[in-house]
């Protein structure tokens, strides 16, 4: 994950080429391409992962290879998406004089050399892997 270096505070982030989503203060706001992840309960999944030993290794099947995704309890969507080759994640710490109540924002863009279709397919594969593992962990915790 890189730091977002931007001097243009007037330009809306949504107007940058390849913009996909942002997370600020735990709120995930995305373009339609990332919608499959908006409804995923990362908090509950994290609790299940924590109860199961604190770490899960997911295999996300993309068209050209299998991508391993390591999910540690209480990881957020930014750390998860940062492991997909189709997504570029930046951390925007905001202005240096913002004060103690300010927070960082994660920004998500289409990674270089990838298309919207590749991103869409990788997000669908990630969402499916997360949902399947969530169901597995939820079933294991009941049984």
Phi, psi of 79 (to 5 degrees): -65, -30
- For residues 59 and 66, the answer to whether their CB atoms sit within 8 Å is yes
Residues 59, 11: Cα–Cα separation, whole Å: 37
**What pLDDT was estimated at residue 45?**
95
Can you tell me which residue has the tokens 């925007």? 92
pLDDT of the residue at 38: 81
pLDDT for the residue numbered 73: 94
User: Measured at the alpha carbon of residue 26, what is the angle toward residues 57 and 129, in degrees to the nearest 5?
Assistant: 25
Count other C-beta atoms under 10 Å from residue 37's C-beta.
19
3-state secondary structure of 59: strand
Domain ranges of the chain: 2-7+15-142
The confidence score (pLDDT) of residue 64 equals 85
pTM to 2 decimals? 0.87
State the sign of the Cα–Cα–Cα–Cα dihedral 70, 90, 65, 129: positive
| Pairing mode, strands 2-3 and 87-92 | parallel
DSSP 88: E
C-alpha 36/C-alpha 120 separation (Å) is: 9
pLDDT tens-place values along the chain, 143 residues long: 888 887 777 888 888 999 998 887 767 778 888 888 888 898 999 999 999 999 999 999 998 899 999 999 988 889 999 999 999 999 987 666 665 656 678 999 999 999 999 999 999 999 999 999 999 999 987 75
Tokens 């709120």, located at residue: 27
């Amino acid at each position: 994950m890189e730091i977002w270096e931007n001097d243009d505070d007037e330009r809306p982030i949504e107007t940058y080429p390849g913009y996909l989503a942002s997370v600020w203060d735990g709120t995930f706001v995305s373009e339609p391409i990332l919608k499959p992840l908006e409804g995923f309960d990362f908090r509950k999944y994290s609790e299940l992962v924590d109860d199961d030993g604190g770490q899960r290794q997911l295999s996300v099947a993309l068209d050209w290879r299998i991508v391993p995704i390591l999910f540690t309890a209480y990881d957020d969507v930014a750390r998860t998406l940062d492991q997909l080759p189709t997504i570029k994640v930046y951390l925007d710490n905001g202005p240096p004089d913002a004060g103690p109540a300010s927070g960082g924002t994660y920004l998500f863009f289409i990674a270089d050399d990838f298309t919207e279709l590749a991103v869409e397919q990788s997000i669908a594969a990630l969402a499916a892997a997360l949902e399947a593992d969530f169901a597995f962990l939820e079933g294991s915790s009941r049984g």
